[in-house]
Chains A and B, each alone.
Chain A
Amino acid sequence: MSDIILEMRGITKEFPGVKALDDVNFAVKRGSIHALVGENGAGKSTLMNVLSGWYPYGSYSGDIIYNGEECRFHNLKDSESKGIVIIHQELALIPYMSIGENMFLGNEQGKKFAIDWDKTHAEATKYLKIVGLTESSKTLIKDIGVGKQQMVEIAKALAKHAKLMILDEPTSSLNEEDSQALLDLLLEFKKQGMTSIIISHKINEVSYVADDITIVRDGRTIETLTKGVDDFSEDRIIRGMVGRKMEDRFPKRSGVEIGDVALDVRNWTVYHPLYSDKKVVDDVSFHVRKGEVVGISGLMGAGRTELAMSLFGRSYGTGVTGTLKINGKEVHLHSPRQAIDNGLAYVTEDRKGNGLILSNPISVNTTLANMKGVSSRGVINTDKELAVAEEYRQKLRTKTPSVLQNVGNLSGGNQQKVLLAKWMYANPDILILDEPTRGIDVGAKYEIYCIINELVASGKSVIMISSELPEVLGMSDRIYVLNEGKLVGEFTREEASQEKIMACILSTDSAPKE
């Protein structure tokens, strides 16, 4: 079992402004199941995308040695031809095509200009049987559940003659039963000599299925644990994941008086906009006081953003129920406009996607949520607009030649400042900051923290959603933990620790049956 099928040496991958992978070394034994674990953004998915050729040879540095030879993959086809198949977190199936058509998409059976449909469906049926599906290969993808769709993805990988299968969070959207079936299938494949790499944040699943566990943190591989040799307990794994020392990365906040309750949410429930029977936020109650920073922690997909957006004028979800009180008065917010008018602001996690207009200048972005402030009867006072933008540029120390610069030309940290400026100019009482420091460098992070401190010092309330535990711990007066749509924990600043929060999340995860 010491035969190495894959070795990645010294892999470094940089994105503009961020080193996603830093000299990563990683080896996988033939016929084993190897798990990659780490916090969100640690670099697990990036590493697998390098391996599969999604990031082509040349866009990273380092060597990939597969079956003893050095490989230079330029696209997914290159790696697939060697038997390396990646199954992404988001299912890549086309809903209005049949199972068979999906399985052989890009790998069509028959001649180039004459697809052999009989062969397609015969082959599809063969592989469906292996993964334990009894559906006809002519069933449309949209008509089967998510669990079965995941199985189809695996069958699709088998149809490509996979020797090394990479599964990125394969169980993230599955229920217990389906997750269990999938994990058992992987164990079954292992017996037949298949090698798998599985990325997961569900530690219990990982320790159940994996032979080796490699822990990734801040773009580096920290350690590899081997079953039967090392301690495989959840505690041990979590310690590896969060292991970094807390440095003095957070500005002190002192003398801020915590006042009355500003925002009070009771029994808040939200359903998925498309699958209207799926609860995304489940009976959540919480509150925030004036002058308080409240952190909301949880894993990706825990429903944090969905909770925030549904509060912000029902910008997300359907069937929203629950009560919302602002400064003691119950309000019903049906649009972002009403939310803004009632003193609420939602600063999105996705500043490029739905926060800023990249093709427009800083000045335009700064005033967009409060055009009334710079216009009268629908006519914009351009001079005033420029003055406002300039005022906030100086206040937040945004680095730019002028406020007429397009936001798209700024660095991530400066874009985040423009986004904050926009919502500060809307003059809210309560700001929901969703991942306010994602993808920006340490210096800019510190400045954002200072801004947050200034906000609460002026009597405003801040709700900070963040996947970075040190940040939540360092900045919050109180912390709520959200998992799978439910509020599963509340900690004060004094009692909270990384281990406690992680354990709180994991203990409430729907675990596979043993």
Chain B
Amino acid sequence: MSKTKVLTFVQKYTMIIALVLVTAFFAWRTNGKLLLPQNLTNIIAQNAYVFVLATGMLLCILTGGNIDLSVGSVVCFVGTVGAVLLRNDLNMWLVVLVMLLVGLLIGAWQAFWIAYVHVPPFITTLSGMMVFRGLSNVVLQGKTVSVTNEKFVQLFGGGAKCYVPDVFHGANINILCIVVGALCCVLYLFFTIRSRAVRKKAGLEVDSAAKTIITAVIIVAVVMFFTYRLAQYKGLPMALIWVALVVLIYTYITGKTTVGRYLYAIGGNEVATRLSGINTKSIYFFAYANMGLLSGLAGILTIARLTSAQPTYGQNYEMDAIGSCFIGGASAYGGVGTVPGVIIGALLMGVINIGMSIMGVDANYQKVVKGLVLLAAVIFDVVSKKKSS
């Protein structure tokens, strides 16, 4: 390959390359412990909230680099409401519904000011950050409320029992997990082949057959390795199911729906979008109301995993979400970024976290490293864009 080819390859797959390198580094430094089944499971279960919040944050960032600072506090408040309701023995499904609704309402409240009154998102959500942190404290009166509803914890949590039961009753290995992994691969191959055929028919450029096959082989190998590892432990964590659901739905929304298209359009050129007859206000409203909804889901996942609600929960969650977006290639000016990209960003952060934890690195140093990774990712993005233009 020529030098420019290498450069474009590196630019295109920067974050995947970084993820591979970082994973390899920690696998080496931890003598392979990082890739043990339990640790791989943990990367998912511990970071479930980051995946969910980062997905929602991406939609806000797409509209023009706007962020939502309130998500940590909203997660805490929704969790608080849920924990209190569960303590009063309300029906679990009703509680889940209420929690999602509370999240959505909070989102809509902030979205209204941002979209229709043009209060800057930074300020609106800074206010939300204080308001909902305060309200959580008020409701909890500074105490912890534990979540004892086992069904709720099992369904949404990340603890010891929170796995999808193996319907095939494998002896040493979770067969369902393997089946699901294989199914994902089959679906992936099906859609790749189909879209390639369609694009070829429409006379559009397609990747070379060799490139498509190599990519497919790599993806299948990674997915199967990952599910095999999970199967060796306890199978599919419930959290993974929720995360996968969110990722699939929002990949679809951003890629295939008009709403998704408008999010990118606004971030790319708001005036042009408005002059194309698109109601830009309602798109802003959608992005921020949706962020509330996903904060609600993250609240559910958080109290289920920690089996309690405390006034300090959710602190800095917004920073994890924002960081993942930017590391995952979202543009700080909006209009650029994908859900899969953001998930890779979140994974990168997750691997660094758990890798350093296994190595026994002091938590404060972990923060230093994460901060520097964020800066490095954005510097790389800015510099490489400058070079290519």
Q: At the interface, yes or no: B360 with Cβ under 8 Å from chain A? A: no
Q: Determine whether the beta carbon of A335 is less than 8 Å from that of B279.
A: yes
Q: Determine whether the beta carbon of A378 is less than 8 Å from that of B269.
A: no
Report the nearest B residue to A408, measured CB to CB: B389
Q: Determine whether the beta carbon of B258 is less than 8 Å from that of A380.
A: yes
Q: Determine whether the beta carbon of A337 is less than 8 Å from that of B279.
A: yes
A380-B257, A404-B204 given; A359·B336 CB < 8 A: yes
Cα distance, A375 to B271, chains bound together (Å): 22
Report the nearest B residue to A309, measured CB to CB: B275
Q: Determine whether the beta carbon of B275 is less than 8 Å from that of A402.
A: no
Q: At the interface, yes or no: B143 with Cβ under 8 Å from chain A? A: no
A386-B202, A387-B202, A402-B205 given; A357·B268 CB < 8 A: yes
Q: At the interface, yes or no: B259 with Cβ under 8 Å from chain A? A: yes
- Give 1 or 0 for each of A348-387: 1 = CB within 8 Å of chain B CB: 1000011111111000100011010001001110110011
Residues of A within 8 A of B261 (CB): 364, 368, 371, 380
Cα distance, A358 to B268, chains bound together (Å): 7
Instruction: State the Cβ distance, B276 to closest chain A Cβ, in Å.
Output: 4
Residues of B within 8 A of A335 (CB): 277, 279
Cα distance, A475 to B94, chains bound together (Å): 68
Picked from A337, A353, A358, the residue with its CB within 8 Å of the CB of B271 is A353
Picked from B256, B269, B274, the residue with its CB within 8 Å of the CB of A379 is B256
Q: Determine whether the beta carbon of A357 is less than 8 Å from that of B202.
A: no
Q: At the interface, yes or no: B245 with Cβ under 8 Å from chain A? A: no
Residues of A within 8 A of B271 (CB): 353-354
Q: Determine whether the beta carbon of A386 is less than 8 Å from that of B204.
A: yes
Q: At the interface, yes or no: A486 with Cβ under 8 Å from chain B? A: no
Instruction: State the Cβ distance, B197 to closest chain A Cβ, in Å.
Output: 11
- Interface residues of A, count at CB 8 A: 38
Number of A-B residue pairs at CB separation under 8 A: 91
Instruction: State the Cβ distance, B338 to closest chain A Cβ, in Å.
Output: 13
Cα distance, A341 to B279, chains bound together (Å): 14
Which of the listed residues A346, A348, A357 has the most CB atoms from chain B within 10 Å of its own CB? A357
Q: At the interface, yes or no: B273 with Cβ under 8 Å from chain A? A: yes
Cα distance, A391 to B335, chains bound together (Å): 26
A378-B259, A380-B261, A383-B202 given; A354·B335 CB < 8 A: no
Picked from A339, A355, A357, the residue with its CB within 8 Å of the CB of B277 is A339
Instruction: State the Cβ distance, A88 to closest chain B Cβ, in Å.
Output: 23
Instruction: State the Cβ distance, A157 to closest chain B Cβ, in Å.
Output: 34
Residues of A within 8 A of B258 (CB): 371, 375, 378-380
Residues of A within 8 A of B265 (CB): 357, 360, 364, 368
Cα distance, A364 to B255, chains bound together (Å): 12
Q: Which of B329-358 contact A (CB under 8 A)?
A: 335-336
Cα distance, A313 to B276, chains bound together (Å): 11
A337-B278, A402-B205 given; A357·B259 CB < 8 A: no
Q: Which residues of A contact B (CB under 8 A)?
A: 312-313, 315, 335-337, 339-341, 346, 348, 353-360, 364, 368-369, 371, 375, 378-380, 382-383, 386-387, 390, 401-404, 422, 426
The 4 closest A-B pairs by CB, nearest first: A357-B268, A354-B271, A337-B277, A369-B276
What are 21 A-to-B residue pairs whose CB atoms are below 8 Å? Answer: A315-B275, A340-B276, A348-B275, A353-B269, A353-B272, A354-B272, A355-B272, A355-B275, A356-B269, A357-B273, A358-B269, A360-B268, A368-B261, A368-B272, A368-B273, A368-B276, A379-B258, A383-B198, A386-B202, A387-B202, A402-B204
A355-B272, A357-B335, A404-B204 are known contacts; what are 13 more A-B pairs with Cβ within 8 Å? A337-B278, A341-B277, A348-B272, A353-B269, A355-B275, A357-B268, A360-B264, A360-B335, A368-B261, A380-B257, A380-B258, A386-B204, A387-B202
